[in-house]
Amino acid sequence: MAMVYHHIMHLSSTSRLLLQDRYLLDGESPKELWSRVAGAVDGTKAKDFIYLMENLLFLPNSPTLMNAGTPLGQLSACFVLPVEDSLERIFQTLTHMALTHKSGGGTGFSFSRIRPRGDVVERTSGIASGPLSFIRVFDAATAAVKQGGKRRGANMGVLASSHPDIMEFIRAKTGGGLTNFNLSVGYDAHYFQCLSTRTPYPLINPRDGEIWAEIDPQEIWRACAEAAWACGDPGVLFLDEINRKNTVPGCGVIEATNPCGEQPLFPYESCNLGSINLSACVKHNDIDCDLLTYVIRTAVDFLDAVIDVNRFPVAEIAEQTRATRKIGLGVMGFAEMLILLGIPYASKEAIAIAGEVMGHVHREARARSAELGEWRGSFPAIDRSIFSGPMRNATVTTIAPTGSLHIIADTSSGIEPLFTLAYHRTIAHRTVNSVNRLLTELAETRADGSAILEEVRKAGSIQHLPLDEHIRELFRTADEISPEHHVRMQAAFQQYTDNAVSKTVNIPESVTVEDVESIFSRARTLGCKGITVYRENSKSEQVIHRGCDVCAVE
SS (H, E, C) 209-278: CCEEEEECHHHHHHHHHHHHHHHCCCEEEEHHHHHHCCCCHHHCCCCEECCCCCCEECCCCEEEEEEEEH
pLDDT in tens, 112-141: 999 999 998 877 668 999 999 999 999 999
- What pLDDT score was predicted for residue 146? 66
Active site residue 258: yes
Does the pLDDT of residue 541 top 70, yes or no?
no
**CB environment 167-185: b (16+ within 10 A), e (fewer):** bebbbbbeeeebebbbbbb
* Strands 151-152 and 146-147, sheet pairing: antiparallel
Does the pLDDT of residue 346 top 50, yes or no?
yes
> Alpha helix locations (H) across 429-540?
437-443, 449-459, 469-474, 483-494, 513-525
- What pLDDT score was predicted for residue 546? 55
Give the separation between CA 506 and CA 496, rounded to whole angstroms. Answer: 23
Question: Is the bond leading into 234 cis (omega within 30 degrees of zero)?
Answer: yes
Give the separation between CA 257 and CA 265, rounded to whole angstroms. Answer: 6
Residues 6+ apart with CB under 8 A from 348: none
> Alpha helix locations (H) across 11-61?
13-18, 30-42, 46-54
Active-site annotation holder among 194, 224, 260, 271: 260
Residue 114, CB-side half-sphere exposure with 13 Å CA sphere: 27
Compute how many other C-beta atoms are within 10 angstroms of the C-beta atom of residue 414: 25
Residues 6+ apart with CB under 8 A from 360: 289, 292, 293, 296
To the nearest whole number, what is the mean pLDDT of the chain? 94
Number of helices (H) and strands (E), helices first, in the chain?
20, 22
Looking at this protein, which amino acid is placed at residue 143? A
Q: How far is CA 528 from CA 208, 237, 495, 499, 525, in A?
A: 32, 9, 8, 11, 8
Give burial (CB, 10 Å; 0-12/13-18/19+) of 347.
middle
- What pLDDT score was predicted for residue 428? 77
- What pLDDT score was predicted for residue 1? 42
Active site residue 262: yes
Q: Give the N- to C-terminal CA distance of the chain in Å, as an integer.
A: 38
Give the separation between CA 289 and CA 337, rounded to whole angstroms. Answer: 13
Cβ–Cβ < 8 Å for 312, 270: yes
Q: Is 107 helix (H, G, I), strand (E, B) or coil?
A: strand
pLDDT in tens, 350-408: 999 999 999 999 999 999 999 999 999 999 999 999 999 999 999 999 999 999 999 99
Q: What is the 3-state secondary structure (H, E, C) of 422-461?
A: EEEEEECCEEEEEECHHHHHHHCCCCCHHHHHHHHHHHCC
pLDDT in tens, 36-69: 999 999 999 999 999 999 999 999 999 999 999 9
Beta-ladder partners of 506: 534
Does the pLDDT of residue 3 top 80, yes or no?
no
Of 165, 208, 217, nearest to 189 by C-alpha is: 217
Give the separation between CA 165 and CA 116, rounded to whole angstroms. Answer: 6
Q: Where in the chain is the domain with CATH 3.20.70.20?
A: 78-257
Beta-ladder partners of 256: 265
Q: What is the CATH number of domain 78-257?
A: 3.20.70.20
Q: How far is CA 418 from CA 139, 413, 483, 528, in A?
A: 31, 8, 14, 21
Active site residue 374: no
How does DSSP classify residue 110?
Answer: E
Confidence of residue 8 (pLDDT cuts 50, 70, 90): low
Active-site annotation holder among 54, 241, 255, 262: 262
Percent of the chain with pLDDT over 90: 88
- What pLDDT score was predicted for residue 434? 86
- What pLDDT score was predicted for residue 552? 31
Confidence of residue 425 (pLDDT cuts 50, 70, 90): confident
Higher pLDDT pick, 206 / 543: 206
- What pLDDT score was predicted for residue 122? 76
Cβ–Cβ < 8 Å for 478, 506: yes
* Strands 151-152 and 201-204, sheet pairing: unpaired
pLDDT in tens, 72-99: 999 999 999 999 999 999 999 999 999 9
Give burial (CB, 10 Å; 0-12/13-18/19+) of 441.
exposed
